[in-house]
Amino acid sequence: MPSTTAIVGSSVGLHARPAGIIAEAVTESGVDVTIGLGADEPVDAGSALMIMTLGAEHGTEVTVTADDQATLDTIVALVEADLDA
């Protein structure tokens, strides 16, 4: 599975609104996607609640992994965007 690192762009980190937007995009894609923080076990990016459990703050580096490169690129772009603007 392809993976890449991304820097959290949302000013409040991966909290309710950004996590919801990312989870919705993952669900719509139909592709398995995970997001991991440091040495912690990656979580299912199709679940806003699981994304929020990471506690990823603005500027934090996370690892995004997906079964499809186009989906990976889309989710990385969302993680790096300020979804609270």
Phi, psi of 27 (to 5 degrees): -60, -45
Q: Which residue of the set 8, 15, 36, 62 is catalytic?
A: 15
Give 3-80's CATH code, choosing from 3.40.1160.10, 3.30.1340.10, 3.40.50.300, 3.90.1300.10.
3.30.1340.10
pLDDT digits (tens, 9 = 90+) for 15-66: 999 999 999 999 999 999 999 998 889 999 999 999 999 999 999 999 999 9
Q: How many CB atoms lie within 10 A of CB 40?
A: 11
The dihedral region occupied by 61, where left means phi > 0, alpha psi between -120 and 50, and beta the remainder, is beta
pTM score above 0.75: yes
Q: Where are the domains of the chain?
A: 3-80
Report, as an integer, the average pLDDT of 59-77: 97
Annotation says 15 is catalytic: yes
Q: Token pair for residue 49?
A: 């609640």
pLDDT digits (tens, 9 = 90+) for 14-27: 999 999 999 999 99
